[in-house]
Structure 1
Amino acid sequence: MSDSPWFAALITLFLWWFSTGIILWRVRVADNGSAKDHLMSVVLGLPLLAIGVLAARASLPDLSAGGIYMAFLAALALWAWIELAFLSGVITGPNRMPCPPYLAKRERFWRAVGTIAWHEATLIGTLAVLGLVTLTAANPFAFGTFALLFVARISAKLNLFLGVPRINIQFLPRPLAHLASYFRIGRITAFFPISVSALTVFSALLLERAINVTHSGMSVGYSLLTCLCLLALLEHWFMVLPLPDEKLWRWMLPATKPQNDQVEDANGL
């Protein structure tokens, strides 16, 4: 496996685009099908979960470039399956109702937490297990990759809740349509510059490690994390800048089928 940082950057960029696109595609296909299709998506994705677990375990003693890539891909596989389960409405939270208007911010916050509670618990549990198994392992990059994804996602969710000018709600599947009522489209809050500054600084620190570390495998690992952190930073800026980022994936997705047609198909009419 190549230890070139440019190869690592290209791999990260491709996987970010492709994995996002394939999950959105499968969720849209399920949206256009019957009510059971979302559950079937999660069941069909179980091999992805198994691959993630097995690859993460196999990567633990291997600090070569190949082992680093295996750890990175393992974390992405675990993350992808959990995100598929979330977007399919299978692992979400106890609250599946839209947010009532004019709620106080604190009550709105706790209701929003209720919409994603089981999803967040699954992510935290997976992160904790990865942390425990990599604590004394030679290769910590499965944990590092998953931890970076988790922190970046929490930051993005908080910004969506507090307020940003641009939110692509057209990608929300039907099982999660109620989430749009918890987003706030408006001016940014003080949390946005804090979050993008933190991601910028962390990207710089990871880049410094990628450049100065002497072990070739570690250099690959830090290069992968640097690119991933920069992509997380880019996703934050997509919430503010008037860029047509949805075009990166919209061309891949089938047209949304009217809900009435879904009901007729489910009834066999």
Structure 2
Amino acid sequence: MVADIKLQTEEPLVRVRGLSKRYAQGHWFARKKYLIEALSGVEFSIRPRSTLAVVGESGAGKSTLARCLARLEEPSSGEIWYEGKSLLDLPSKDRLWVRRQIQLVFQDPTSALNPRLSAVEIVAEPLVIHGEGSKVDRRERALTAMEQTGLSPQWGDKSPLEFSGGQRQRLALARALVLGPKFLILDEALAGLDLSIQAQMVNLLLDIQATQALTYLYISHDLALVSNIADEVAVMREGTIIERCRTSELFNNPRHLYTQQLIASIPRLGSHA
């Protein structure tokens, strides 16, 4: 009950208002182009140290939302606020600060894991980009981040190709954590892993959230997985959030027909406590 009251009264870390993203479609020399609206008037907020899951089928706009929040894409309209600052109006001197504070972890970490680098070099790379510390200091911080994600520091000099899929995802997570962010965007980060590995990763994410006071936006199509990690759930359909509530309420009393259909499609889902 205390946690619920705190979640309701604490100022949001992240606030999104009227966020839209449109893409022009059609050949470059065509007379007429038409717009595809990937996001339409998306609104939500996330309290510090909590997890909001965004769920929906493929094409709902979830990954576009992630990329806009991480500032990898520019929204067409709307507002994104972080710690009371508008991310769309930040002066250039504050943009590096945002990149430290907000980190994105993808489903497939392969693109972020350069096979020509060792594991510890991959994790330390953000420190190099931001010009932090000496080479020795960066290595120590990277090894610490690896240890925090359950990877032995003794594996620091291994190639990422020597790691399993679950271990590579831990490596990508360590890379995201090494700068000390407050907000992680996890875009289908556990999809494709074996169920046992998924369960281990959920426990790891919850432990890291508790010890490092992190806030998560967890994007997924897997409602069963979401039920184990999220405080709140927002359901997206065709670029719009159609329902948002506490996780227990969503599973016990889904209001929108589309949400009911998503929950009904989950194999052998028991009653959510």
- Normalization by structure 2: what TM-score? 0.29
Q: Which has the higher contact order (CA 8 A, sep 6+)?
A: 1
If each structure's strand is expressed as a fraction of its own residues, which one has the higher value?
Answer: 2
If each structure's helix is expressed as a fraction of its own residues, which one has the higher value?
Answer: 1
